[in-house]
A and B are shown apart, each in its own frame.
Chain A
Amino acid sequence: MYDLVIVGGGPGGIAAGIYAARKKMKTALITDSFGGQSTVSAGIENWIGTKVISGFDLAKSLEEHVRAQTGIDIIEPDLVTSIAKKDEGMFALTTKEGKTLETKYVILASGSRRKRLGIPGEDAFDGKGVVFCTTCDAPLFSGQTVAVVGGGNSALESVLDLIPYAAKIYLLVRGDALKGDPVTQDKVKTHPQVEIVYGAVPQEITGSAFVDGLRYEDKNGGGVKTLPVTGVFVEIGLVPNSDFVKDLVKTEPYGHIVVDPATQATSCPGIWAIGDVTDSLYKQNNISVGEGVTAALNVYDKVKLA
């Protein structure tokens, strides 16, 4: 039986784990991997205290830091699939590998995952031209014509990752303006290999063995058009990983867990939530860390009183 189980191994979960271990709470941390979504980032330039660090190195240093703590059980790779409320304020967590853990308190640090387009061809051509990790697979599209879907920072960065390789990059934006950082926008807008298509709503990804086209609706009255692309890079935002606790804690309409920003407590006594899975306004590594610390200290206040 644990005092605390932390669900997730991104920056927030790690921070909570380190603080919990140092407070000598009986703690377990369950995660399928370390580092969170930034792990695939080529270079992180806003991790405070380090001028630039790759996502891979950040993930490694976070993992090393939490593994250096004594008295925390790290269960990896595994994934929490459900949480049940038991008698006397206890919780039972079940994992994908069939483990069951009982605990007094839970910190949810399950993060978020890529949003998908939900159009025909997206699943069928996943890995066959449909790409969800641009940094990984951009070099495989050298000399090709490709499409990036999205208008925010991740879409813009995807375009920049593709410029050294792809011959032509269409950027399909649903609205009539880009949303990412102005500095990145300028780089994309002025590049001769890039063509931005505004008011574009993707309808279908076509192909036989591999992708050969993307059909989209032109909201500005142009009807349905087809782009002859061999790669479709989907960068349309994130959805919180909160499905497994939907019946337990209050979520807002997009699935983010509602928390008290002073303590990170959720609507369910005994459960806290931190980082990208919550309704906090900004999704940042540095912020997740702070929220992890807040949650761990608040849990410790409860443990002390018990």
Chain B
Amino acid sequence: MAQPNVTIYTTPSCVYCKMTKDFFAKHNVQYEEKNVATDLEARKEMVDKSHQLGVPVIDVGGDIVIGFDQKNLSTLLHIGQ
């Protein structure tokens, strides 16, 4: 099964963003990263998608995950199944 498109919205100082990216690396998940500290367009996109301001936000093929929610991400990405 093809992996859904994954976009992660981050700030450079956010530890949970790093944890999420580590988790992706461990499970060979390809992703696009958008830094919302500097990219204002991406910030707006993140707020529109998640209706909130905290990072990380992860868009998994249209499903929005807020925070490093390992369980939810595993389900959406079919990890460990």
Contacts and interface: CB of A to CB of B under 8 A. Distances in A.
Q: How large is the interface on A (under 10, 10 to 19, 20 to 34, 35 or more residues)?
A: 20 to 34
A94 B55 CA distance: 31
A161 B66 CA distance: 22
Candidate in A42, A54, A140 with the most chain B CB atoms within 10 angstroms: A140
A42 B18 CA distance: 12
Contacts of A137: 11, 14, 53-55
B51 interface: yes
Contacts of A175: none
Contacts of A136: 11, 13-17, 54-55
B25 interface: no
Contacts of A133: 14, 16, 54
Interface in B1-49: 11-19, 36-38, 43
A178 interface: no
Contacts of A42: 13
Interface of B is mostly: loop
A127 B13 contact: no
Given A77-B71, A133-B54, A210-B53, A139 B15 contact: no
Contacts of B11: 136-140
A180 interface: no
A138 B70 CA distance: 23
B53 A56 contact: no
Closest A-B pairs by Cβ, 10 of them: A139-B37, A127-B52, A136-B14, A127-B54, A139-B11, A56-B15, A135-B13, A40-B15, A128-B52, A140-B53
A135 B70 contact: no
Nearest to B10: A136
Interface string A32-48: 01000001101000000
A29 B47 CA distance: 37
Candidate in B15, B16, B19, B71 with the most chain A CB atoms within 10 angstroms: B15
